[in-house]
């Protein structure tokens, strides 16, 4: 049976007592090695949910958020939880702290007390994984956006987390940078078996997912395989999301009786099937 790495059980949360819940009764299970996309318009609660996954927010009850077997309710174990999940943020500039790529990755490793020889091994290994090994002596600020995000990913995977969380990590990148980052993440998922949580407002990125979770006003509005969620296109549009361009065009053509085929989103990509 597949191992469950994240379990969220009826999680509700509000930042301020006198305001509405930002998360409402969220229940979610993530299988080890899977790719989960969390989508939703701005303000739907995606980043707040991510804060629970990396132990920045702590639930008020036990067994509500469990990561890699650790109950995040237990503040004494919170450092163990934080080692389990690493997050890459939206703005690559804000994640660079050192003057060389090597030192940038070393910074996180020093913080968790990794000794020097192992540190150098991990830097080499992680840069190879994101195909940035030739930039080890480069200044991070001179890299392109996509390269910076790949270095940020290297810095996270060097700490050997079980789960890699991307919070709108491609939204500030040009199409090429975005492609580079998605390919890197796909490889980490397929070849290294790393569990991926990709938080995005871009449905195009959900194509490789094993599970899409659609959030709307702090609730899970729909969840399932891409082919299931995209069957309910109207619900996606209702929740404020834009359909991927190619799917949108095809849907409009078919609605007008012009299209002869339907476009299906599968793990292999966009596939044309006879209508
Ligand atoms: P998303 O990531 O989907 O854009 P967020 O989780 O960032 O959504 O925000 C959900 C809601 O919580 C929004 O209404 C936002 O204004 C509110 N919010 C987010 N962070 C805070 C905070 N630190 N304090 C108070 N309200 C917040």
Q: Are residues 223 and 249 in the same domain?
A: no
Q: What is the pLDDT of residue 201?
A: 84
Pocket flag, ligand 1, residue 15 (CB < 6 Å): yes
Domain count, the chain: 2
> Considering the domain boundaries, does residue 237 fall inside one?
no
Is 238 inside a domain boundary? Answer: no
> Model confidence over 171-183: pLDDT tens digits?
999 999 999 999 9
Does the residue 239 lie in any domain?
no
Does the CB atom of residue 13 touch ligand 1 within 6 A? no
Strand pairing category for 195-200 and 23-31: unpaired
CA 155 to CA 161: how far, in whole Å? 11
Residue 249 has a pLDDT of 65
Atom number of ligand 1 nearest to Cα 201: 3
State yes or no: ipTM above 0.95. yes
143, part of any domain: yes
What pLDDT does residue 82 have?
85
Q: Half-sphere exposure of residue 230, counting CA atoms within 13 Å on the CB side?
A: 27
* Residue among 139, 168, 183, 227 flagged as catalytic: 168
Considering the domain architecture, whether residues 168 and 253 belong to the same structural domain is answered as no
Contacts of 46 (CB under 8 A, 6+ apart): 38, 39, 40, 167, 199, 215
27 and 163 fall within a common domain = yes
Query: Which residue's CA lies nearest to atom 26 of ligand 1?
Result: 15
Q: For residue 84, how far is its CA from the centre of ligand 1 (angstroms)?
A: 24
Structure tokens that stand for 229 in this block: 């969620």
pLDDT digits (tens, 9 = 90+) for 221-242: 999 998 888 877 777 778 777 7
Distances (CA, A) of 78 to 27, 59, 165: 21, 11, 17
| The pLDDT of residue 246 | 63
Ranges under pLDDT 70 in the chain: 1, 245-275
- State residue 275's pLDDT score: 42
How far is ligand 1, taken at its centre, from the CA of residue 21, in Å?
Answer: 10
Domain extent for 159 = 4-232
Distances (CA, A) of 231 to 66, 224, 243, 274: 31, 10, 12, 15
Ligand 1 pocket, residue 111 CB under 6 Å: no
Is 168 among the residues known to form the active site? yes
Q: Is the CB of 17 under 6 A from ligand 1?
A: no
Residue 153 pLDDT: 96
């Amino acid at each position: 049976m597949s191992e469950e790495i994240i379990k969220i059980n009826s999680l509700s949360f509000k930042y301020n007592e006198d305001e509405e819940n930002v998360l409402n009764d969220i229940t979610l299970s993530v299988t080890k090695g899977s790719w989960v996309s969390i989508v939703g318009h701005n303000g739907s609660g995606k980043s707040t949910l991510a804060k629970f996954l990396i132990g920045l927010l702590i639930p008020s009850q036990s067994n509500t958020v469990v990561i890699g077997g650790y109950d995040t309710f237990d503040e004494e174990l919170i450092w163990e939880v934080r080692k389990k999940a690493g997050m890459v943020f939206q703005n690559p500039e804000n994640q660079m702290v050192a003057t060389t790529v090597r030192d940038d990755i070393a910074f996180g490793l020093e913080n968790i007390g990794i000794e020097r020889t192992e540190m150098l091994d991990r830097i080499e290994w992680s840069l190879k994984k994101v195909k940035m090994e030739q930039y080890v002596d480069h200044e991070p600020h001179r890299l392109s956006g996509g390269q910076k995000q790949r270095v940020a990913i290297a810095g996270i995977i060097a700490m050997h987390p079980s789960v890699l969380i991307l919070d709108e990590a491609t939204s500030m990148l040009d199409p090429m940078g975005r492609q580079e980052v998605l390919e890197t993440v796909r490889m980490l998922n397929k070849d290294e078996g790393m569990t991926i949580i990709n938080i995005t407002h871009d449905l195009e990125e959900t194509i490789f997912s094993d599970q899409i979770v659609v959030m709307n006003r702090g609730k899970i509005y729909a969840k399932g395989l891409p082919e299931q969620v995209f069957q309910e296109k109207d619900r996606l549009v209702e929740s404020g999301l834009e359909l991927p361009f190619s799917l949108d065009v095809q849907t409009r053509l078919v609605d007008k009786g012009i299209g002869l085929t339907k476009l299906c989103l599968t793990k292999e990509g966009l596939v044309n099937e006879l209508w």
